[in-house]
Each structure stands twice: as structure tokens, then as C-alpha cells.
Amino acid sequence: MRKMILFAGLILLSATGSRAQDTPAAEVSAGYSYLRLGVSNGINENGGSISIAGNVNRWLGLVADVGGYHASPFGVGFNTLTYMGGPRFSYRSSSRVTPFAQVLLGGARTSASAFGMSGSTNGFAYSAGGGVDLGLTKHIALRPQLDYIGMRVGGGTVNTVRGSFGIVFRFGNR
């Protein structure tokens, strides 16, 4: 009986080690993003976003996210650039499906141009959202993601929603 308990303990310990190897040391993602700048009566912008994450352990990563978006309704050009960073919390129970949530802080730059005139402003930005990594291989996954982004511009907050779909490249093991 004692040998059986010892054997079961060894199996459990070896399974824990193999599970820890499924956590990549770093992840880089890039993809298409749709940004709704100002939820009601807003502007639809298209663009892309890139994020880089270093994973501290199985569930915590530190993320840097940059996105650029553009729209030109009625001949008026609108551009938005977001740059934020913060923690990402991942639930790694499977190598195929990894849901995550993140909270990011940083900045945003918005600009508009029309009829030979232009203007821009910088402000504080914050984001809360999440998504899921759908593993294709050990090192590649697809990522649908949805985020709320608040941008403090001109004394007010512009409520923004971003939907993204991209590809993730995973590097190393943690």
C-alpha cells in the first residue's frame, strides 16, 4: 500500500512539471482591430494592434500593447494611437484554449484633419478586457479579443470599444 501511495505521488508531481512547461516565457501577437471611438454617435475606425507579453508564471503576464486606427468619414481623417501596459491574468488548464483578462494603463493620441487643417491631442488611457487564445500548435494560436478603452481627452472621457482578431506566437517555456 505504501508503494502505491508513493507511486501515485510521483505521477502527480511529474504531471505538475509537464503542465508548467506549457506556459510560454513570452508571447507576441499582432492582428486586425476594429475601434468604435465614442460608443454612441461614435466613429468606426479600422487598424491593427500589437502586444508583447512576458509571463511571470502560469497565470500572470506583463503586457505592452500598441494600436493604430484610422477612419475618414465624409473626407475628415481621424487617427487614434493607443499605447498601454499592465498585467494579464491567464487560465492555463489546456494548451489548446487559454482564456485571459487584462487591465492596462497608458496613453492615447487622437488627431483629425480636414480641408487642409489638422489638430491632435494626447491623453491618459485605460483598458479592461480579455479574450481567448485558441492553440493551433504549441507555438502558434489565434486570438479573438474584446476590450473597453477609456480615453481622457480635453477634460472628459471618450468611451471606446475595441474588437481584435490576430495571431499569437509563443516563445520559450516558463
Check if the beta carbon of residue 99 is closer than 8 Å to that of residue 131: yes
The grid coordinates listed for 159 are: 468611451
Q: What is the pTM of this model?
A: 0.83
pLDDT at residue 17 in the model: 41
Q: Which domain holds residue 34?
A: 2-171
What's the CATH code of the domain at 146? 2.40.160.20
pLDDT at residue 19 in the model: 44
Convert the pLDDT of each residue in 53-112 to its tens digit: 999 999 999 999 999 999 999 889 999 999 999 999 999 988 799 999 999 999 999 999
The grid coordinates listed for 81 are: 494611437
The grid coordinates listed for 21 are: 512547461
Per cent of the chain over pLDDT 90 is: 77
Q: E-assigned strands of the chain?
A: 26-37, 43-55, 60-71, 77-90, 97-114, 117-135, 140-153, 156-171
pLDDT at residue 126 in the model: 98
Strand partners, 152: 124, 157
The grid coordinates listed for 172 are: 520559450
- How far apart CA 81 and CA 84 sit, in angstroms, is 10
The grid coordinates listed for 10 are: 510521483
Give me the mean pLDDT over the 132-156 stretch: 94
- Chain centre distance of CA 66: 9
**Angle made by CA atoms 76, 78, 79, in degrees to the nearest 5:** 155
Convert the pLDDT of each residue in 33-58 to its tens digit: 999 998 888 899 999 999 999 999 99
pLDDT at residue 154 in the model: 79
Is residue 18 predicted with pLDDT exceeding 50?
no
In the chain, how many domains are there? 1
Number of CB atoms found within 10 A of residue 41's CB: 5
